[in-house]
A = this chain, B = another copy of it.
Amino acid sequence: MSEQTHKSSAQSAADETARQVEDIPAADGADVLDQLTTDEAADVAEALDPHTAADILAEMEPDHAADVLEDMGQPEASVLLSAMDPDDRTDILSHVEEPRREEFLQDLPADDAAEVRNLAQYPPESAGGIMTSDVTALVEDMTVTQAIEELRRLAQRHEQLFYSYVVDKRRHLIGVLSMRDLILAEPHKRVSEIMIGNVRSVPATLDQEAVAALFKKYNYLAMPVVSDSNKLLGIITVDDVVDVMEREATEDVQKLFGAGAEERLTSPWQFSFSKRWLWLVVNLATAFLAGWVISLFDATIEKLVVLTVYMPIVAGMGGNASAQAMSVAIRGLAMGEDVGGIIKRVLYREMWVGVLTGVVVGFITAIVALVWHHSPALGVVVAVALILNHTLACLSGAGIPFLMKRLGFDPAQSATIFATTVTDVAGFFTLLGLASLCMRWLVPA
């Protein structure tokens, strides 16, 4: 009895939420469902009209949407999936484990299921992975009147009708038409006469970052995706690219610091811990490398303990200078500024910036050393160590991302590990090494 009451009160809460999200944009509805438990969200999704529910689930993070879908009753989940755009449907199903995934596919209409299997063959971060196959294709010998007829017929199914692509009989891409071209054309002309013939397309295997770079540079609103033999497979619209760019920017920043690209503000601690600990352990190894360098000079430190005050300054300032150089290099590479021969210009620039910032920081530090520890010799040693470390820091901070890219790695991935290792090791080595060499002036016998 109490079970019964509980159930119906959960049900009425779900109905109430469903009424609220019905009339707001799908992205806002997705925010509402994201705040609920999977169980509650599934109740709301069942209470909604399938098309509304499909739009909302398409706006949620695909993994959460997949959880909600799996929690829903079987007929409702299938109806919802059928109402979804092919690319969103494929995305969400890619987060459903077998054998549930196969069950969902069995329940879909045969051609929808075939489309999912077809789209699923492309890696999720490729052009094929982000495209939708709902693309408007007009055959070259249609007249303008026939083309408009065809578009009217397709209008129920296809959302984005800004461009129509023109194909030959065997679906090879041969041109593009904007709605404007169609509106303004004389009705009896053939599509092939008014189309723009030289249409830029992307192969389905192209990486999504390269796709985003093309959109950015040429201000496209949509681009067709083609197979190796130039057959039209689908379309990527700029709103997909906006999502890609945002995700890539987040990945860049987070990978730079060894936080997983997938972490969000709302991630639970178990997830965050699992994504972060390994990078810290790798860093620990490099920290021990720096510690080992210090251990080589224990006799020097014993003679002049004040050096320990300047150790974190020389190493840390090098780390800061390196991070500045690295952030400019990584963003430049991400934005495709890496034109031929630029590396030489960059290293030349960084050498000067390293020397000059080393001089500024070294000069100030030398004055502080003079005032605080009354030792001009100490000031000189620290200043020279700072200048050497800043120069190496700027060169390596800018050079490492280029090197990573040349070697085929992501320039952002863990570049900071290498950079701070360089500046720590070099910082301790130059400061303590110089101090050892100059010990007779530093500690007058």
Contacts and interface: CB of A to CB of B under 8 A. Distances in A.
Contacts of A287: 312-313, 316-317
Given A320-B283, A337-B265, A361-B281, A250 B331 contact: yes
A259 B312 contact: no
Contacts of A179: 161-162, 179-180, 183
Nearest to A220: B239
A442 interface: no
A156 to B, nearest CB: 10
A389 interface: no
Interface string A316-360: 110011011111111111010111001001101110110011001
A268 to B, nearest CB: 7
A291 B265 contact: no
Given A298-B306, A352-B269, A420-B316, A328 B162 contact: no
A25 B217 CA distance: 10
B295 A306 contact: yes
5 contacts: A219-B242, A264-B337, A280-B361, A298-B308, A312-B428
Interface stretch (A14-22, A107-115, A122-130, A271-279): A271-279
Contact of A312 (B277, B294, B331): B294
Interface stretch (A73-81, A92-100, A147-155): A147-155
Given A221-B238, A252-B253, A287-B312, A317 B272 contact: no
A327 B257 contact: yes
Nearest to A351: B269
A305 B302 contact: yes
Contacts of A329: 265
Q: How many copies of this chain sit in the oligomeric assembly?
A: 2
Given A242-B242, A256-B327, A273-B357, 20 more contacts: A27-B217, A155-B180, A155-B184, A221-B221, A245-B245, A245-B246, A249-B252, A253-B256, A259-B328, A265-B342, A265-B345, A267-B328, A272-B353, A273-B353, A277-B356, A281-B361, A287-B317, A288-B313, A292-B309, A311-B312
A170 to B, nearest CB: 28
Interface centre among A238, A256, A292, A361 (most CB of B within 10 A): A238
B218 A280 contact: no
Contacts of A243: 216
B183 A151 contact: yes
A364 interface: yes
Nearest to A242: B216
A392 interface: no
Interface string A412-438: 000010001000100010000000000
A10 interface: no
A356 B249 contact: no
Contacts of A281: 360-361, 364
Given A269-B348, A294-B309, A324 B252 contact: no
